[in-house]
Amino acid sequence: MYDFLIVGAGLFGSIFAYEAKKAGKKVLVIDKREHVAGNIYTENTEGIQVHKYGAHIFHTNNKEVWDYVNQFAEFNRYTNSPIAVYKDELYNLPFNMNTFSRMWGVKTPEEAKKKIAVQVKEAGITNPRNLEEQAISMVGKDIYEKLIEGYTGKQWGRPCRELPSFIIKRLPVRFTYDNNYFNDKYQGIPIGGYTQIVEKMLEGVEVKLNTDFFEHKAELMKQAEKVVFTGMIDEYFDYCYGELEYRSLSFETEKLDVDNYQGNAVVNFTEYDVPYTRIIEHKHFEFLCQGSGEDSVSGTVITREYPADWQRGDEPYYPMNDDRNNKLYTEYKKLAQKEENVIFGGRLGMYQYFDMHHVVEEALNTVHNCLK
């Protein structure tokens, strides 16, 4: 018998397993994939850590969370500063004085604020009710049309008018010449990748890969006092109230015989007609392109990220947290609360657009409550 069966060897499941094992509990972790680490999985390709499921930059304001992850790896000083390409124009992200200056030729914060205020007034928005209105009220119509409308439309498969505002509020808008994509105090990439973090968490824990919970549910449930489920909550309940919506992705990864393909880790393509949203050049996450520096690695690996509709069987990368889906999730949550001895956690178990630092917080709170 195990004290805990943990479904999912992603960040949530692995933190739970690590803390439970530390408290003397017997734990079994299963995952249907052939590797641990879930979506933060990274893989060494000729000296370059490839982020297999999209760019992952760790950032947080919470010192406890930062110290917690730093136990498992040393983090570098990487600061995310993506470039946005719209046709033959190139802009800095997030929306800051470099973006405004490039867009309008303005030089001072006052000039930029005036320009935005005029565009917001022309659009007649006072109380933004959706992503389009929210975006225009933050940065004006020009930036909305060139840098947001197309990217967001393809990313989410819907026009901005039909999307919730919170998605665009993830991005800072600042009136300084600062291209840091995040406002958080702590930020970096683990030197040597993310997989080692999860491997360290799972040291001494029994892990079964290539094991789908639903294929062995009855026998697995019998073997554990409690189950921690980090898969899709609607799937757990056999979609009894209908499907929650997700957004999926496909990744196209290529090794190239050039040392520096795009000069930056993340380049966004904001036109609707370019089918991918971004190209990641993985070596730049670890500064492996410093000319004669001894850390330089020759050749490069890039990944194009294509947004895709989700259907059963596809990877559910993003929950669609709009009103309809949040309501449906509330119904599933009520069922989850009645499910004795099963804890639902993580991005899919809680149906929340969580970043890694949210997952660390949630997992630590959950496991500590459970072990009380």
Instruction: Write phi, then psi, for 212 (nearest 5 degrees).
Output: -90, 125
> Looking at 29, 93, 202, 301, which residue binds ligand UDP (CB under 6 A)?
93
Does the footprint of ligand UDP cover residue 134 (CB under 6 A)? no
The footprint of ligand FAD (CB under 6 A) covers 7-13, 30-33, 38-40, 53-58, 212-214, 230-231, 249, 317, 346-348, 354-357, 359
304 is catalytic: no
Q: Are 97 and 175 in contact (CB under 8 A)?
A: yes
Find the shortest distance in angstroms from Cβ 302 to ligand UDP: 17
Whole-number minimum distance, CB 324 to ligand FAD, in Å?
21
Name the binder of 268 from ligand UDP, ligand FAD, none, CB < 5-8 A by kind.
ligand UDP
Catalytic residue among 247, 261, 317, 362: 247
- The sign of the dihedral angle between the CA atoms of 165, 169, 174, 177 is negative
- Give the integer Cα–Cα distance in Å for 305 and 56: 13
**Residue 346: contacted member of ligand UDP, ligand FAD, none (CB under 5 to 8 Å, by partner type):** ligand FAD
Q: How far apart are CA 363 and CA 347, in angstroms?
A: 11
Cα(328)–Cα(273) distance, integer angstroms: 33
334 binds, among ligand FAD, ligand UDP, none (CB under 5 to 8 A by kind): none
Q: Assess whether 353 carries a catalytic annotation.
A: yes
**Helices 131-143, 149-156: inter-axial angle, 10-degree rounding:** 140
Chain positions 291 to 350 lying near ligand UDP, rule: CB under 6 A, are: none
Distance of CA 243 to the CA centre of its chain: 22
CB burial class (10 A; 0-12, 13-18, 19+) of residue 77? exposed
Residue 174: active-site member = yes
Q: Using the rule CB under 6 A, is 167 a contact of ligand UDP?
A: yes
Query: CB under 5 to 8 A by kind: which of ligand UDP, ligand FAD, none does 93 bind?
Result: ligand UDP
The residue among 16 and 100 lying less far from ligand FAD, judged by its C-beta, is 16
Contact of 289 with 310, CB cutoff 8 Å: no
**Known catalytic residues?**
170, 174, 247, 278, 305, 353, 355
